[in-house]
Structure 1
Amino acid sequence: MTWHFTEDPAVFRAAAGALLSAGSARNTGVLALVDAAGRFGWWTGLDGRVTGVLVVAAPGEPTFGTVTPEAARALASSPDLPGNGGPTVVRGETAAVEAFAEATGRPWTPTVRMRLFRLGTPTPPDPAPAGRARVATAADVPLAAAWAREFVRDIGEESGDDCTGPVTERISDGRLFLWEDGGRPVSMACFSPVTEGQSRVHLVYTPPAARGRGYAAGATTAVGRAARDAGAAQVLLFADVANPTSNALYLRLGYRPVAEHLTAEVTGR
């Protein structure tokens, strides 16, 4: 049983492609970062089968896919992950992240707990919110970029980056939707490119003044439908465990829990 590493995404896909395809929901974090990652890892068991994967998109910040606690503990003593002094931020399913962090023997702090949901039978919001969804256009880039910065700030991350580029890409691909009421945009959501049959709903945002009217439910429903129309067999999304409002909303819309996820910061030596 051992970890293998490469900096070549083609080598990684050749080794771990079967696992990525068969477990695309649980590996959604890895799939989202394959094109941006600089290092890739996969875990093989005694029979040689690949049963775990990870990617490193920033030095010292591995993102786990389907990694067992046993594989995570073995990784903690591996010298093959880049980063001065070893990984400092680890993301993935809770059991694996906790096993890794504890095995390092270094102090660590859980920073974000998320719940991964998968869309089952879509259930339209009831009552239906006023207004309708539409695909965002190039003219909507400034508004969507400003909302994206607010979204990043709301989830507790740095909001100083210019979101124009990422938002423009999503709009150009037809993946960002606005919910309008009376012809005025009041909420947005988008979906990721379909990869290995899965797509993830994200950037669900409603400005504070427009909240409490069901607009996010309308936008989320619209992009979930669009993701399926684009070929996604599995439509996924993450919700902050500490936000009972969003978790309850997604349950009402037909999403069901898949796995608990954790981001942990490992500190000290």
Structure 2
Amino acid sequence: MQLRRFSDPREFLQYAEAFLMEREAEHNLILGLTNTLIHDPEVYPQFYLAVIEDAENITLAAIRTPPHNLIISHVAHLDALTVLANDVQSAYGILTGVIATVPIGKTFADLWQGMTRQPYRLNMRERIYQLSHVNPVIGIPGTFRVATPDDRLLLIQWFAAFRQEAMGVVDNSDVPQLVDRYFVSETRKIYLWEHDGEVVSMAGRGGPTPNGIRIGPVYTPPEFRKKGYASACVAALSQLQLDTGRKFCFLYTDLSNPTSNHIYQEIGYEPICDVDEYRFDAPVN
């Protein structure tokens, strides 16, 4: 097996796109991040892009945007994980974490721990969903609109709350810059559900693939939950993406949250595959 690294995301996409498109929904994060590297290069100034191939075909693709997790594609041959781990270790020494489908993530985490003595822990179990038709959400009061710079302060508060609640992120010093990017990016936008002049829920979209786009983040403050606002907002945003030419919408759900998994399926999202996120701790001597 041979590993090939890429310094140009366009070259990586041209080389690996056919392989990634065989499982477009499963690979939506890799495809979407590569799109960001191409069209918004300032977002991730450093990156790792690689494929592993045997004599005939690509067997694995991987992407990392430090300091974030390594993301691994579908793997045709598990032996490719050893080749990848050796190259990633030579590039970074240690990792913060890995995201991959079940059971690829666990296999890589075991391998990485043995190589680096970095203990791992399962941080989140997720499911990728895909939608091609929206079941309308009826009877939820309010209106749907795109966020504007006038909403900036509210979005900063909500993004920080979302990241702390969903991902355990405590340091949100980068949130203002993150929010500002949504106002200038062509591929990433935030949309809001508003009721009686008050914003009650938000949903974003970004990471486009050739045929689809990822929905997220989705956040509703605790005081506005269980009123259907998130369902209405996500349904409206998903329909907007289909109306503008997308064939699919994708989203990730936390499997520990049965409520969100249920409401997305009611909207029309269908499960595709399960994904695990493993976090690596400091090496143990």
**TM-score when normalising by structure 1:** 0.89
Of 137, 140, 143, 1:125 maps to: 137
User: In the alignment, what sits opposite 1:56?
Assistant: 64
1:75 and 2:87 correspond? no
Letter in 1 for 2:164: R
Flag structure 2 segments of 5+ consecutive residues without an equivalent. 38-43
Contact 1:69 1:95 in 2 (8 A): no
Contact 1:118 1:257 in 2 (8 A): yes
Letter in 1 for 2:26: R
User: In the alignment, what sits opposite 2:23?
Assistant: 23
User: In the alignment, what sits opposite 1:4?
Assistant: 4
Contact 1:69 1:96 in 2 (8 A): no
Distance between the aligned counterparts of 1:138 and 1:214, measured in 2? 26
Contact 2:5 2:48 in 1 (8 A): yes
User: In the alignment, what sits opposite 2:211?
Assistant: 197
Tell me the number of residue pairs that the alignment of Structure 1 and Structure 2 aligns: 266
Flag structure 1 segments of 5+ consecutive residues without an equivalent. none
Large movers: runs of 4+ above 6 Å = none
Can you list the C-alpha shifts for 1:51-77, whole angstroms capped at 9, x where unaligned? Answer: 321112115831112234602244234
1:226 and 2:240 correspond? yes
Distance between the aligned counterparts of 1:149 and 1:5, measured in 2? 34
For 2:210, what is the secondary structure of its paired residue? coil
Instruction: Give 1:214 shift.
Output: 0.4
For 1:195, what is the secondary structure of its paired residue? coil
Can you list the C-alpha shifts for 1:177-229, whole angstroms capped at 9, x where unaligned? Answer: 11011121111111115332221110211111111100000110111112223
For 2:12, what is the secondary structure of its paired residue? helix
Does the C-alpha gap of structure 1 residues 79 and 193 become closer, same or farther in structure 2, counting only changes over 3 Å?
closer
CA-based RMSD of the aligned residues comes to 2.2
Contact 2:132 2:242 in 1 (8 A): no
Instruction: Give 1:50 shift.
Output: 1.7
Contact 1:150 1:159 in 2 (8 A): no
Distance between the aligned counterparts of 1:202 and 1:79, measured in 2? 28
For 1:259, what is the secondary structure of its paired residue? strand
Distance between the aligned counterparts of 2:69 and 2:207, measured in 1? 23
Letter in 2 for 1:114: E
